[in-house]
Structure 1
């Protein structure tokens, strides 16, 4: 494949937020996914091109690409994206579904008649909308939380409707963006009093330009299954646990990371195969994931479909004998070769974002040019180097305290060994005067 070029585009690090501040948590995951994806495609000898926000040009040295173009604040990233699409043979897109971003980028690829290695438009169209996905799950009779579109009255979301459904469901409810991704914009409400309080005092947290769903809250373990969709049944790569903090009304929910594979992988795999066999997943050819909740009694409730590469890919690269990028390419170009599921190494990966605060006395320039590169040599698990996305003026350049985020992924023999390694990594940071915030 050395004569073929692939344009790998990750929205957050690739200039999608070029006119506003980059959300630091999304950036950490996005750059880590970009780096892992580029590395796995490079093993297949592709010529690789990508885009990178020009505020983080110094991170380009960590990407094994043949060409990187930078997106400035004055640029229209859609135009740069399409220019790269026109020059490549294949395209692979990592982007959020909200505001039709993933759909519109994919549409550009299909308009230019390039080979798309990520999920096609019909699958994206279904999975972008959580209420449509709920109806899809119900159509095939699989377990899924009861879900409603949250109506409006005179441009205000209907509090009384939420209270009625809370009483009908006889338990906590979740309110989330209808096209949201990850844990962004999710609120857990556990009492009628809390619902009143949320709609009266915190309704400003709901974007008036967005649609929202109200969903039955299912208590259990947050899991996801990572899949390669083919013309036949999808192939399971791994099953992952997810670390998600679901908030009450006054704080933000957040996705922190996860583990792969889950501790009881074979048991959960047998259970989820039975569920997947009930579905028609022909719309999803390529890499995608399904989030689900496993109750303590072994029942699995499907939550949503992610029609794209997800953060768990970072860990999956560390536990498979096969290169997942090769499976992605085969799913699109040679689906008949994908007959058997890839085998897992006897490995475990824990992947997570670390929030740090530098409490030493080195100037920021020395941190970026010396301390952080030295830490990356010491800690090969770092995928997104410690970064703070701020525009620092001269008067701020000598600050000795600054908050950073990074993303790491272990490759160890067991869950226990991954936990030990994480503790050791945190100790390395502390020895270099980084305080661990989370």
Structure 2
């Protein structure tokens, strides 16, 4: 099986502009983790697109690297290479519809994706639609309003891009002055939602989905700091508990509500003493993916490939927590 891997940030999505190092750092983490897992699988040939500036950061032994320079039209190259491969595994952020449009392109070529299809990305990549769907099915989630419908009330609030990935387009406001200042800055920058700022443990789930069924791989804890009214991810503790029954039930419920989810999916939660709230559903690889093999002794890439023919074979060989430190470099390359 020949698999085309395209991680948008490091694979040429920014080939005609500066690379934002913070996005590159996490992109490289996920890309290296994915490539390491795929190259362990017998019978898999990997083709990987690489931005010319990150080539030395990837060990491409045993695979075919395709270097993307400023002279290339990246999406044309993606289509050309996809036609030469059996399946495609894209990794991309949801903002600006990037991941959805990539999936649509691959689907138009009639090439199988190793991720959720475009229609699932369109739904879960939109925080407002996700909130409505979860609420409709009585799954606990953080109360959400569209920015244009929100009237400030005292308290702490989070303003987030409706299709944002990570924390880059999320802002904490603590008073009316903060809110008015941020409102003026965001007025012309797309669609946003507003949520109450809930204090609690920030956890995430690494999962697999297929046709209305869901399997939990690990529960993780995310640690942040707040700087300039924005959250910044510092580290992730992957596989923090062996008592995952409450999370498995939630994964099963989400699978039934979002039956088009397929492959690896990350779910962000906020946990308080009273409830577990679903914050976001990420229909793509997340950073936690890279530590699953070290934590559980299973290859998550193989589990995803298993989904093409049946159920994933999840038989942990170990059960240990693993810490991922998130690079904090924010300059451009």
TM norm. shorter chain > 0.5: yes
Contact 1:6 1:88 in 2 (8 A): yes
Q: In the TM superposition, what whole-angstrom CA distance separates every residue of 1:29-67 from its partner, at most 9, and x where no partner exists?
A: 10111111011011113110011111223334x234521
1:253 paired with 2:231, answer: yes
Report the structure number with the largest CA radius of gyration: 1
Q: CA deviation at 1:350?
A: 0.6
Aligned to 2:250: 275
Contact 1:293 1:300 in 2 (8 A): yes
Contact 1:97 1:181 in 2 (8 A): yes
Equivalent position to 1:107, from 100, 104, 107: 104
Q: In the TM superposition, what whole-angstrom CA distance separates every residue of 1:44-99 from its partner, at most 9, and x where no partner exists?
A: 13110011111223334x23452111111232111111111110001111111111
Q: In the TM superposition, what whole-angstrom CA distance separates every residue of 1:331-381 from its partner, at most 9, and x where no partner exists?
A: 1x112x43x64426132211112457xxxxxxxxxxxxxxxxxxxxxxxxx
Root-mean-square deviation (CA, aligned residues, Å) is 2.1
Contact 1:162 1:214 in 2 (8 A): no
Equivalent position to 1:349, from 322, 327, 331: 322
Equivalent position to 2:162, from 160, 178, 188: 178
* SS at 2:54 equivalent: helix
* Distance (whole Å) between structure 2 residues aligned to residue 212 and residue 352 of structure 1: 29
* Distance (whole Å) between structure 1 residues aligned to residue 129 and residue 242 of structure 2: 29
Matches within 5 A, 1:3-152: 4-45=1-42, 46-60=44-58, 62-151=59-148
* SS at 1:27 equivalent: helix
Contact 2:292 2:298 in 1 (8 A): no
Q: Report which structure shows greater RCO (CA 8 Å, sep ≥6).
A: 2
**Which structure has more helix as a fraction of its residues?**
1
- The TM-score with structure 1 as length reference comes to 0.71
* Distance (whole Å) between structure 2 residues aligned to residue 126 and residue 64 of structure 1: 37
Contact 1:223 1:239 in 2 (8 A): yes
Residues 196 and 66 from structure 1, CA distance in 2 versus in 1: closer, same or farther, beyond 3 angstroms?
closer
Residues 388 and 355 from structure 1, CA distance in 2 versus in 1: closer, same or farther, beyond 3 angstroms?
same
Aligned to 1:428: none
Query: Runs of 5+ in structure 1 lacking a partner?
Result: 152-157, 357-386, 391-438
Matches within 5 A, 1:293-312: 293-295=270-272, 297=273, 299-312=275-288
* Distance (whole Å) between structure 2 residues aligned to residue 116 and residue 192 of structure 1: 45
Aligned to 1:362: none
Q: CA deviation at 1:194?
A: 2.9
* SS at 2:261 equivalent: coil
Residues 207 and 330 from structure 1, CA distance in 2 versus in 1: closer, same or farther, beyond 3 angstroms?
farther
Contact 1:50 1:65 in 2 (8 A): no
Residues 208 and 299 from structure 1, CA distance in 2 versus in 1: closer, same or farther, beyond 3 angstroms?
same
Query: Runs of 5+ in structure 2 lacking a partner?
Result: none
Contact 2:303 2:314 in 1 (8 A): no
Q: CA deviation at 1:140?
A: 0.9
* Distance (whole Å) between structure 2 residues aligned to residue 180 and residue 245 of structure 1: 19
Q: What is the number of residues matched between the two proteins?
A: 330
Contact 1:38 1:65 in 2 (8 A): no
